[in-house]
Each structure stands twice: as structure tokens, then as C-alpha cells.
Amino acid sequence: MNNSQQDNITTTVKRATDILFLKNPLGTAMGILFGFVLHSVVIVLSPFIEFLNSIRLNLIYYLAIGVFAFNIKYYTKQQKTIPKEVDDAFIFIQKQLDTGVISHYEAKLLRQALIRQVLESFSVKIESSQLVEKS
């Protein structure tokens, strides 16, 4: 495995554990409960329904199915950290560059100015929230 693959695996595992234990602990607990109940239902009904005998699995698989089912929406949801206005500005700069209206150097300067402006707006928001907390 090269470093890129290891980084992707590490990122995926970190994201999954963050979702399971930090962002959605209730969903994780509900998934475990659901998996346990599903396992119990399969055991109870398997003598009566022949189809259930073929899908009889170990408890850990049912727990995994439950946790996965209750957390899938958090994993698939795109978490966009860039505000739409900033993303639109980057797209506009790229379109201007692609059409030849601006040079690569001008595009670089515009991107740097945009990043500086965004960072300044975030620092103002952080400072104002800290002032509110102190009072």
C-alpha cells in the first residue's frame, strides 16, 4: 500500500468513528439495539419460517447491520465546509481563467485575495463570539 491509499483509509476510518461516537451516538446505540432485536426475531421465527434458517448469522453481524442502518445518512451526507458564496467565487475565477479572460497569475492573486477575505471574516466572527461569551 502506498501513502495515498493509507491516507484514504485513515481518513475513512476517522470519519466513520467520528460519525459513530461523536456526531450520532444515539443512532449508534439505537442501531445496536435494533441489531440485537433483529437477531432475536430471526432466532425466534427461524423454526417457523424456512427462509430465515438460511440467513441466520452471528450476533455481531446483526449489530453491524443495525449500526450501519442507523448511521448511513450521516456517512453519505456531504459535509461542505466551504460557504456557497465562496465556492461560487472560486468557480467564477476558474471560469474566467478557462475562457482566457484572466491569466494564471491573476487567477492566483484573486484566489489569494478571496482566501484572505474569508479568513478575515472568520476571525471577526470568532472574536465577536468570544466577546459575547465573556459578557
- Cell numbers for 61: 453481524
State residue 69 phi and psi, 5-degree precision.
Answer: -65, -40
Residue 135 predicted with pLDDT over 60: no
Q: Mind listing the pLDDT tens digit for each residue in 23-60?
A: 778 888 899 999 999 999 888 888 888 777 777 788 89
Q: Mind listing the pLDDT tens digit for each residue in 50-71?
A: 777 777 788 899 988 998 898 8
Distance CA(132)–CA(127), nearest Å, equals 9
Residue 74 vs residues 16, 56, 90: alpha-carbon distances, Å: 9, 28, 27
Tell me which residue of 25, 58, 118 sits closest to 126, measured CA to CA. Answer: 118
User: What are the sequence ranges of the domains in the chain?
Assistant: 3-76, 84-134
Q: What's the rounded mean pLDDT across residues 1-21? A: 75
Evaluate whether 73 touches 80 at the Cβ level (below 8 Å): no
